[in-house]
């Protein structure tokens, strides 16, 4: 037996995997389950389908606040739920089935497992998000009848809105992953994602759009970042909003990582 072979076997026995090896393992898991492809398909259908539909139904006499760029991203309401669910399922199903014990036996460093899952999930959702954001933008503009309001990449704010349309659902997926690590239950974690993204704005809405807390909600941040012509009043700038979403994802993952390290599998 060679020294290299012995070292590899010793590494497997002690769980001495690096981030690259664990990430490969997590990528194999993610791509092998049908829920990954179903959620990505729902994301694609929601983004492009609504973009085409709204392009065909573009207003003949749009108001001064109408934004043809933001109009093409209405499918993100479905997309953020789909990718948030994907983030939850990337971990919660292992807790439900008990297979997480085998994962922790192979890789005792639980923080490394979560970091690898987050890295793989980020790569998958960010690539899918950006591809579908550009596809939705193009689909909406191509579907608009000749002579009606449309947007082009050269217009101010349009490229930024498209890029943010791809980043936003990827960050929601990471929040879902962190909540799954914290809650460990699929339905509970998905409910938490829905609560953060959809329910909190409805709770605060009766207090008015000028409520100081509103501008920190993911939904309001997205609404302001996806528009090229009509920023939401009293809201964070797109750059500050992106930083806030990254902070939310980091906090969710940190809380989930702490819970994974402190509790039994």
- For the chain, the structural domain boundaries read 20-262
Assign 15 a pLDDT band (cuts: 50, 70, 90). very low
pLDDT of residue 112: 93
User: Can you list the alpha helix ranges (DSSP code H) found in the chain?
Assistant: 3-14, 19-32, 34-56, 68-71, 76-97, 100-106, 110-143, 158-183, 186-194, 200-204, 218-225, 238-262
Surface-to-core class of residue 134, CB atoms within 10 Å of its CB (0-12 exposed, 13-18 middle, 19+ buried): middle
* Beta carbons within 10 angstroms of residue 20's beta carbon: 10
| 166-189 residue pLDDT tens | 999 999 999 999 999 999 999 999
Distance from chain centroid for Cα 126: 8
| 71-102 residue pLDDT tens | 788 889 889 999 999 999 999 999 998 899 99
pTM for the complete prediction?
Answer: 0.88
Assign 194 a pLDDT band (cuts: 50, 70, 90). very high
pLDDT of residue 63: 66
Residue 11 in this model has a pLDDT that exceeds 90: no
Of 24-28, 115-119, 137-141, the poorest mean pLDDT is in 137-141
Assign 56 a pLDDT band (cuts: 50, 70, 90). confident
Nearest to 44 by CA among 155, 169, 150: 169
pLDDT of residue 231: 60
pLDDT of residue 230: 62
Nearest to 140 by CA among 131, 149, 128: 149
Of 6-10, 74-78, 198-202, 230-234, the poorest mean pLDDT is in 6-10
Residue 5 in this model has a pLDDT that exceeds 70: no
pLDDT of residue 13: 40
- The rounded distance, in Å, linking the Cα atoms of 230 and 73 is 15
- The rounded distance, in Å, linking the Cα atoms of 109 and 116 is 11
pLDDT of residue 234: 65
What value does the mean pLDDT take over residues 132-152? 85
pLDDT of residue 93: 93
Residue 221 in this model has a pLDDT that exceeds 90: no
* Beta carbons within 10 angstroms of residue 120's beta carbon: 21
pLDDT of residue 147: 73
Q: What is the mean pLDDT of the chain?
A: 85
pLDDT of residue 2: 40
């Amino acid at each position: 037996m060679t020294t290299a072979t012995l070292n590899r076997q010793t590494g497997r026995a002690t769980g001495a995997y690096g981030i690259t090896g664990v990430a490969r393992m997590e990528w194999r898991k993610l791509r092998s389950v049908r829920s990954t492809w179903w959620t990505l398909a729902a994301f694609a259908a929601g983004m492009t389908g609504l973009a085409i539909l709204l392009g065909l139904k573009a207003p003949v006499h749009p108001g001064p606040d109408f934004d043809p760029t933001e109009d093409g991203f209405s499918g993100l309401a479905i997309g953020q739920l789909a990718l948030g669910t994907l983030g939850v399922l990337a971990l919660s199903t292992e807790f439900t089935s008990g297979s997480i014990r085998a994962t922790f036996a192979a890789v005792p460093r639980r923080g490394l497992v979560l970091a690898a899952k987050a890295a793989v999930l980020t790569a998958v959702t960010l690539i899918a998000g950006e591809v579908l954001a550009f596809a939705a933008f193009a689909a909406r503009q191509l579907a608009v009848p000749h002579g009606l309001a449309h947007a082009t990449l050269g217009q101010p704010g349009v490229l930024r809105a498209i890029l943010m349309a791809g980043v936003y659902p990827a960050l929601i997926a990471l929040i879902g992953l962190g909540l799954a690590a914290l809650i460990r239950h699929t339905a509970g974690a998905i409910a938490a994602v829905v609560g953060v993204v959809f329910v909190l704005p409805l709770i605060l809405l009766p207090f008015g759009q000028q409520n100081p807390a509103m501008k920190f909600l993911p939904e309001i941040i997205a609404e302001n970042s996806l528009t090229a012509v009509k920023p939401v009043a009293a809201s964070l700038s797109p750059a500050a909003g992106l930083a806030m979403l990254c902070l939310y994802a980091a906090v969710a993952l940190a809380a989930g990582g702490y819970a994974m390290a402190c509790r039994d599998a």
